[in-house]
Amino acid sequence: MKPFFVILLFSFLILIGCKGEEPLNDSIIIEVKTAGEKELSDLINNRNGKYLFLNIWATWCLPCVEEFPDIVKLSVNYKSDKIDFASLSIDYIEDKENKVIPFLTKMNTTFSHFINGFKKDEALINFINKEWSGAVPLTVIYDSSGKQVAMLEGAHTYDEFADKLNTLIK
């Protein structure tokens, strides 16, 4: 009888140890819409009195991935302010389901997400700002009328973003 008990106990411990990780928030369903010129124009210009904080990023971009938690934190902390948050992934559209959405789900985001639908990189660059090199991450802030008021190239910290937002929305 003793070997049976040891096997049973060992099996139970293995089962407990094999329990998978729980999702951060399984009630959040991440939707990622394709955005070309029309969709981004609508997002930028239909502000309803709010600023727009638009982060352009990619799953393969380490600085993008490193700064994203700060953007999520900003979106939570500035939720009651007059700022909408959105992200635009420049990953390939075919990577939306297996890379982009899993990353955004892991980040537990609650703001709007898009994936690049422009046919050519130059078209997106020229649409956002002709001065943009095309490097990511890039954060662009638009005022309540849709006018671009900040273009922040490269990775930034929570404090750097917060300082910029606080200056703009005084």
CATH label of the domain that carries residue 72 = 3.40.30.10
Examine residue 137 and say whether the peptide bond preceding it is cis (omega within 30 degrees of 0): yes
Residue 163 within a domain? yes
Lowest mean pLDDT, pick from 11-20, 100-109, 123-132, 141-150: 11-20
Domain count, the chain: 1
Mean pLDDT of the chain: 87
Residue 34 within a domain? yes
Mean pLDDT for the stretch of residues 27-36: 88
The pLDDT value recorded for residue 27 is: 56
**pLDDT beyond 50 at 146:** yes
Residue 22 within a domain? no
Domain span at residue 128?
29-168
With beta carbons less than 8 A apart as the criterion, state whether 142 and 127 touch: no
In degrees and rounded to multiples of 5, residue 60 shows phi and psi of -85, -5
pLDDT band at 55 (very low <50, low <70, confident <90, very high): very high
Q: Can you give the pTM of this predicted structure?
A: 0.83
